[in-house]
Chains A and B, each alone.
Chain A
Amino acid sequence: MSRWRPGPISIIVFVAALLPMCELMLPQSAHITEAVRGVFLYAILALGLNVVTGYAGLLNLGIAAFMAIGAYAFAILTCEIYPFQFGFWPGLLLTLPIGALFGFLLGAPTLRLRGDYLAIVTLGFGEIVQDVLKNLDTITKGTQGINPVPAPSFGGSMWTADDEYKWYYLLLALMVVVILGVRNLERSRLGRAWFSIREDELASRSMGIRVERIKMLAFSAAAAIAAFAGGISASMLSSTGEPSNYDFQVSVLALCIVIVGGIGSIAGVLVGALVMIGLNSIVLVKATAALDALGIGAQGNVLLSPNNWKYLIFGLALVLAVRLKPHGLVPPRIERRAS
């Protein structure tokens, strides 16, 4: 046993835990914890995607669909207009098996497909889920989304959006739980089987790895984690939002996080989430505010609204990352050991 040394993951978590205290010393306009919550949420989603795309090497372009399934499942299980009315914690825990079940349902017939076809099937699944959620409006309330979705409550009173720091630490804690979970998976027999089929499917099969079953587990695990992220997001926003909030753009954002950060690397996913969500919800938002303050933001010129640069940033991030840093900003350790 080697002595424990703080790695990049623990450093990131430690800094994140101290951030609110540092922030309180700064003026209100410099507060960023609310945006950082989004980093945690997307980090959880991307950690899920990382299991299937990073570990097992299967490109999933419909991860947002599982997030939607988690959000709607959580809402239906907990919201007062439905008969179930579970509390926050039982509801949130149930998103895991529900997500895994849908992952299994999609994976069972499709995992034999080759890589690029599988990617397209998952993309199609993502679109179908959105359409079904929108069109089955007797159950899902269509484009209005389901609300109010309950927040956690400790000691009687339920949290509101004002309990900024409670939410912050809850999300941080849930992210740490997910990190510990995927790290244990990564180091397990199952994790090694995932790496093995990613590197060479035929060789793994020859060594007695049951490829279909191992792929299926990766698919289901990713779907479960994404559904978990969906449940958290619905609770935090107190609404599922409309189905198109879980569109292809969300799946691609999660993919950007994994690719830019370092495919197959947990620390990479955290850094990737920080970079991508930081650009998306902190830099772009602050830039918009700054332009508005100068009085040139709202004049209708398409180029002056930073929000309109989003697709370009995601697209460039993907193209440049694949070209210049194929292993990402923080490559996985296994890669480094090999070289």
Chain B
Amino acid sequence: MQDSEVFLQQLITGLSNGMIIALIALGYTMVYGIIELINFAHGDVFMLGAFLALTLLGMFGMEAWPQHWQLAGVVLMLVSCAAFCGTLNWSLDRLAYRPLRRASKLSLLVSAIGCSFICTNLGLFWGGMPMDVFAGGVAAAAPKDFPQLVPQYNLLGESAVRVVPADIAVLVVTIPLMIALVYLVKRTRLGRAMRAVAQDSTAAALMGIPVDRVIGVTFFIGGALGGFASVVYALYNNTIGFQMGYRAGMDAFTAAVLGGIGSLPGAVLGGLTIGCVRAMSDQYVETRWTNTIVFGILVLILIFRPSGLLGSTRREKV
């Protein structure tokens, strides 16, 4: 393999993972945009989605299904995980965040950290489920193999650079979702309500917008995007574990901040950048330094350009 081919291969991997990170980052950025909360539990909601996907796969024995039925199985997983993660995220808002709307921002953040730990623990319990796909549930904390439902042949034929159907699957799922999201936020009544609440929730309430319901819907949509991302992640990387939410969450949060938190195109740009940085660092630096590099980027952006690449500078109000 030539140097340029290695680079190209890493770029493809980086962009595919970057699209997944972007999908999670959209959930962070939407929630932050509307109530200025870093939804710490978002990464763990994503993780629970992946566990649901594996459970469905095991329950229906999808591995043994014929090829085109497996495609239907993937669609089933996407829909159920999106609904599950959306509802879960909505419930977190309802139970843990909404009662704190008038409390200080720090109380809200502490509550979110608490939710994150609760969800992590639920993932650990879930991993102990006595099913074959969870290796009988004997080692609950161990990473679980996620079967390869998407075939692994090279679409470029004999070329040294591999583009597998999973790469395409990532794009097929993520791009329409992003377009739909932008349409929703920019063109619909609900989207306008969301933007109004983000700008000034008191004024929005005075104009008759049901603020709590709009915030709830935002949490649902953000969670649902995380649910889609979880299925794509599991199909693409073929291994899931109860602690992956923390790592994925930090990557996605970094992406959201890098792009400019609150900005939808920013989250996508940030996600792609972080995906590529990870892939390049794995290849050209060392895998063990990759997390340090990502966190270093996060710290540097927050210090030097807290508004991110595409975000607008807004001064903190008194």
Contacts known (A57-B106, A302-B140); A322 close to B121, Cβ less than 8 A: no
Contact of A311 among B99, B121, B253 (CB under 8 A): B121
A314 to B121: give the CA distance in the assembly, Å.
Answer: 10
Contact of A295 with B by CB under 8 A: no
> What A residues does B110 contact at CB under 8 A?
59, 255, 259, 318, 322
**B-binding segment of A1-9, A94-102, A119-127:** A119-127
Q: How many residues of B contact A (CB 8 A)?
A: 47
What 1/0 mask marks residues of chain A from 151 to 176 whose CB sits below 8 Å from any chain B CB? Answer: 00000000000000000000000000
> What B residues does A202 contact at CB under 8 A?
318
Contact of B246 with A by CB under 8 A: yes
A310 to B141: give the CA distance in the assembly, Å.
Answer: 13
Contact of B298 with A by CB under 8 A: yes
Find residues 114-165 in chain A having any chain B CB closer than 8 Å to their own CB: 114-117, 119-121, 124-125, 127-128, 131-132, 134-135
A-B contact count (CB 8 A): 132
> What B residues does A125 contact at CB under 8 A?
295, 299
Contacts known (A116-B36, A131-B292, A308-B124); A318 close to B306, Cβ less than 8 A: no
Q: In the bound complex, do residue B121 and residue A300 qualify as a contact, i.e. CB atoms below 8 Å apart?
A: no
Q: In the bound complex, do residue A252 and residue B295 qualify as a contact, i.e. CB atoms below 8 Å apart?
A: no
Contact of A339 with B by CB under 8 A: no
Find residues 268-316 in chain B having any chain A CB closer than 8 Å to their own CB: 288-289, 291-292, 295-296, 298-299, 302-303, 306, 316
Q: In the bound complex, do residue B113 and residue A255 qualify as a contact, i.e. CB atoms below 8 Å apart?
A: yes
> What A residues does B37 contact at CB under 8 A?
116
Contact of B121 among A114, A315, A318, A323 (CB under 8 A): A315
Contact of A29 with B by CB under 8 A: no
Q: In the bound complex, do residue B316 and residue A318 qualify as a contact, i.e. CB atoms below 8 Å apart?
A: no
Interface residues on A, range: 35 or more
Contact of B140 among A255, A308, A317 (CB under 8 A): A308
Contact of B59 with A by CB under 8 A: no
Contact of B64 with A by CB under 8 A: no
Q: In the bound complex, do residue A308 and residue B125 qualify as a contact, i.e. CB atoms below 8 Å apart?
A: yes
Residue in A closest to B37 when the chains form the complex, CB atoms: A116
Q: How far is the CB of A110 from chain B (nearest CB, A)?
A: 6
A303 to B125: give the CA distance in the assembly, Å.
Answer: 7
Contact of B163 with A by CB under 8 A: no
What 1/0 mask marks residues of chain B from 176 to 216 whose CB sits below 8 Å from any chain A CB? Answer: 00000000000000000000000000000000000000000
> What A residues does B218 contact at CB under 8 A?
none
Residue in B closest to A323 when the chains form the complex, CB atoms: B99
A109 to B300: give the CA distance in the assembly, Å.
Answer: 10
A108 to B105: give the CA distance in the assembly, Å.
Answer: 23
Contact of A113 with B by CB under 8 A: yes
A259 to B127: give the CA distance in the assembly, Å.
Answer: 30
Contact of B174 with A by CB under 8 A: no
Q: In the bound complex, do residue A309 and residue B128 qualify as a contact, i.e. CB atoms below 8 Å apart?
A: no
Q: In the bound complex, do residue A316 and residue B114 qualify as a contact, i.e. CB atoms below 8 Å apart?
A: yes
Q: In the bound complex, do residue A252 and residue B105 qualify as a contact, i.e. CB atoms below 8 Å apart?
A: no
Residue in B closest to A312 when the chains form the complex, CB atoms: B121
Q: In the bound complex, do residue A116 and residue B103 qualify as a contact, i.e. CB atoms below 8 Å apart?
A: no
Find residues 104-152 in chain B having any chain A CB closer than 8 Å to their own CB: 105-107, 109-111, 113-122, 124-125, 127-128, 137-138, 140
Interface of B is mostly: helix
Residue in B closest to A249 when the chains form the complex, CB atoms: B117
A134 to B286: give the CA distance in the assembly, Å.
Answer: 13
Contact of A315 among B106, B116, B257, B316 (CB under 8 A): B116
Contact of A248 with B by CB under 8 A: yes
Q: In the bound complex, do residue B109 and residue A119 qualify as a contact, i.e. CB atoms below 8 Å apart?
A: yes
Q: In the bound complex, do residue A316 and residue B118 qualify as a contact, i.e. CB atoms below 8 Å apart?
A: yes
> What A residues does B36 contact at CB under 8 A?
116
Contact of A113 among B113, B292, B306 (CB under 8 A): B306
Contact of A28 with B by CB under 8 A: no
Q: In the bound complex, do residue A252 and residue B291 qualify as a contact, i.e. CB atoms below 8 Å apart?
A: no
A309 to B120: give the CA distance in the assembly, Å.
Answer: 10
What 1/0 mask marks residues of chain A from 291 to 321 whose CB sits below 8 Å from any chain B CB? Answer: 0000000001111000011111011111100
> What A residues does B140 contact at CB under 8 A?
302, 308
> What B residues does A115 contact at CB under 8 A?
105-106, 109
Residue in A closest to B304 when the chains form the complex, CB atoms: A109
Contact of A326 with B by CB under 8 A: yes
Q: In the bound complex, do residue B288 and residue A131 qualify as a contact, i.e. CB atoms below 8 Å apart?
A: yes
Q: In the bound complex, do residue B106 and residue A319 qualify as a contact, i.e. CB atoms below 8 Å apart?
A: no
Q: How far is the CB of B252 from chain A (nearest CB, A)?
A: 12
B residues touching A (Cβ–Cβ < 8 Å)?
Answer: 36-38, 96, 99-100, 103, 105-107, 109-111, 113-122, 124-125, 127-128, 137-138, 140, 246, 250, 253, 257, 288-289, 291-292, 295-296, 298-299, 302-303, 306, 316, 318
Jot down 12 A-B pairs with beta carbons below 8 A, ordered by A.
A110-B303, A117-B302, A124-B295, A131-B292, A132-B292, A135-B288, A315-B118, A318-B111, A322-B107, A323-B96, A326-B103, A326-B107
A residues touching B (Cβ–Cβ < 8 Å)?
Answer: 57, 59, 61, 109-110, 113-117, 119-121, 124-125, 127-128, 131-132, 134-135, 202, 248, 252, 255, 259, 300-303, 308-312, 314-319, 322-323, 326
10 interchain residue pairs of minimum CB distance: A302-B128, A318-B114, A315-B117, A315-B118, A311-B121, A319-B114, A312-B121, A302-B140, A124-B295, A131-B292
Q: In the complex, given contacts A113-B302, A116-B105, A127-B292, what are 4 additional A-B residue pairs having Cβ atoms less than 8 angstroms apart?
A: A61-B113, A115-B109, A255-B113, A308-B124
